[in-house]
Every structure is written in C-alpha cells, then in structure tokens.
Chains A and B, each alone.
Chain A
C-alpha cells in the first residue's frame, strides 16, 4: 500500500538523519588510518584497540555536535532490534578480522623464503579486503550506501598495495585518508546547513 510505503519512507528519513553529519565517515576513516599507521609503526595491537575506542567517541561526538542541530530521535523498537542484530554480526566479523590481521602480521614476520613472495604480495592485502567486506556488510545492514563505496576503496587499496608489494598497513592509508576527507567535507557542510538550534523547545 502507498501509505505504508510513505510511512516507511518517513521512518527511513528519520533514521538517515543520524548518519548525515559526516561524523561516521570521519571516525571510520580515522579508524582505518589508525589500523594502517599502527601496522606501519609495527605495533598492530594498537590497531585493534583504537578502532574499538572510536565507537563510544562517535556516540559522544554525535550527542555534542549533531543532536543540538538536528535533534534527538529514539528509533522504533523494530529498528533498534535490527540495529542490535547488525551490530552483533559486525562485532563478530570485526573480531575475526582483527585476529586474522594480527596473525597475518606476525606470520609475515616469519620470513620463510619459500613463501616469501606470496606473503609479500597477497597476505598483507587480506586485512584491507576483509575490512572492505565488513564495510560493505555494514553498508547493507545499516542502509548507508556510501559504506559500499568505502568498501570499494578498501578493495582498491588492498589491490594497489599487493601490486606495489607494499608492507602491511600501507593498504589502509589511501582509503583512510579519502574517507577522512569525505567525513570532514560532510561535517563542514552539515554545520553550515544546520546551525545550532536556539529553540529551547515546547514552552
């Protein structure tokens, strides 16, 4: 029915306002950069810890920056349940990715001559590809289409890194920088579009 579709559209629009401030992009990009830089600096554990800290940091930033401008909304119970399931699925994938990534990093340190060429090319790109899969999955689960584009960037970063025989970590730099730039651009545009509301509320 048309009216049901219209209500769905209203609900989706209400939901989408949460993600239009650019903060998500900024934090996703920062997380990807953190992973890359921690690998380059040969301290991969930091790359596993820092992205996890970005989730509460995003929540605080959203509350401080976005809510005074676009308001607060508590989503419907159905949407909240769906989001919870999506987060659980992503958390599982994230843990698996990080474990695989850290293992891959230590594996590449073994410097076995027989598989050295393979390690230098394909395996360092694997975390970027896995993160890309995670990004694509998040994009579909949370209905944020640009995460699909970020997945494409991560795949491209992984492929380019493998082609250039780059070490682990370098694959994340290009996608991370691009996503941070997108986030900053979106945030600036959001702040211009929505000045902080001086309306206190219902008198």
Chain B
C-alpha cells in the first residue's frame, strides 16, 4: 500500500485515524451495526464471519470505548445479547469514514509503463 510522506496532510490524517475502528474485524462489526438499528450476537457472528470468542473480545473493546451498547436478555429459555451502536460510536465511525475518504481520494491513473500514482481502486483493494 502506498502511503503519503510523513509531512503531508494525508499523513496527519492517517495519524488521526481511530485505531479502535480501523482494525479489520472491528471495522466489519461497526459497519454492520452502523447500517442497522440493533443486532444480536448470533447475527453479527454470521455477518462478520467471526467466531464467538473473537467477536466477544472485539465487542468488549468497543463497549469499553463507549461505542457499543450491549443488552442481555432471554427469549424464552434462550439467552440473547443485543448490540447497538451508541451515538458516540456512530459519530466515531462517521469521522473514520471521512478521514479515510480524505486519505484515499481518487488520484490520476498511472500508465502501466510510466511513473505516477497508483489507481485508487488498488489502494482500497489492498
């Protein structure tokens, strides 16, 4: 992945990135919670492909940061853990999106045989 030089505005933006959200599994989890009102533990496991233990550990971190609200209840005899993004978490994710969009703004396409910037799609793909 090609990053900007340290003294450029992009580098400053990158330094401001919320690392709690930036971690891929948590990013997937937060993005999933961002597009719905609430979801339970099983649903998030299915959607993110994370194991129960992994998901638990990521949820703990997000809960500690106040990004996620966790409510436990019973549906009949079955325990259910429902999660929702708090307003703090929602704001943090929106800020993260803005920052990443700013860093990964489209650049001119590079000719295969010439110098220049790499295609923005390839940065995102990486």
Contact = CB atoms under 8 A, between A and B. Distances in A.
B1 interface: no
A188 to B, nearest CB: 19
Given A3-B101, A76-B35, A202-B81, A71 B70 contact: no
B81 A201 contact: yes
A201 B42 contact: yes
A200 B79 contact: yes
A74 interface: yes
Instruction: Provide the main secondary structure of the chain A interface.
Output: helix
A197 B42 contact: yes
A73 B40 contact: yes
Contacts of B83: 202
B31 A10 contact: yes
Given A6-B31, A74-B37, A201-B41, 14 more contacts: A2-B124, A14-B47, A63-B75, A68-B78, A69-B42, A70-B43, A71-B40, A71-B41, A71-B42, A71-B45, A72-B42, A197-B45, A201-B79, A202-B83
Interface of A: 1-3, 6-8, 10-11, 13-14, 17, 63, 67-77, 80, 194, 197, 199-203
14 contacts: A2-B124, A3-B97, A11-B36, A14-B32, A69-B42, A71-B46, A72-B39, A72-B75, A73-B39, A76-B35, A199-B52, A200-B79, A202-B56, A202-B72
